[in-house]
Amino acid sequence: MDMIVSVEDVLRMELVDKNLIDKKYLAIEHSSKLNISNIKFHPGGSAANISCDLSSIGFNTAYIGGIGDDFNGKACLEDLQNHGVDTSGVKIFSEDVTAVSVIILTPWGRDSSILAYKGANNLFSEEHILEEMLLSTRCFVWTSLTSNIGIKAIEKCIKLAKSSNGLIVGPHRFQS
């Protein structure tokens, strides 16, 4: 679940590191309370967004991952289903809540900072993968790393998708 907050009271610091690279930071005064000027809640996450977007333009899509057995999880699952995404690969966990990202929008334009809690998605492992989904896929898209067991699950999905000549799409920093 994405919680998007607009905050105007934050400070922006610009520093230069030892390599003379400009770095920008959001600063909140210690022990202060900031007012939020706007707040929105949206089912989200990069993998869910991609699944819904591709489904909206006519592709058959599925979401594979973990959600919590909570209000946010139910809302996210319903949103995926309303967009026509196959949710048979979703595992619902009672041990943790659904992932939450707090997206902080500031007055300085399109830049945003994100505080992410991976929640139940960090519990998703190789054992939860429905292999037949990956063996019949034409393209496997993955979007983020989670826990060590999550990385193993992604590696297994990549291996299964490759075994049926599926295209693999993901961040360039990961090699399998």
pLDDT band at 11 (very low <50, low <70, confident <90, very high): confident
**Helices of type H across 22-65:** 46-56
26-53 average pLDDT score: 92
Residue 67 CB coordination number (10 Å)? 30
Q: What is the pLDDT of residues 105-153, one digit of tens each?
A: 998 877 788 999 999 999 999 999 999 999 999 999 988 767 888 899 9
What pLDDT score was predicted for residue 109?
73
| DSSP β-ladder status, 86-93 and 62-68 | parallel
For residue 173, pLDDT over 60 is answered with no
- Give CATH for domain 2-6+39-122: 3.40.1190.30
Torsion angle, alpha carbons of 79, 140, 45, 63, to 10: 30
Note the pTM of the prediction, 2 decimals: 0.85
**Could you tell me where in the chain the CATH 3.40.1190.30 domains are found?**
2-6+39-122
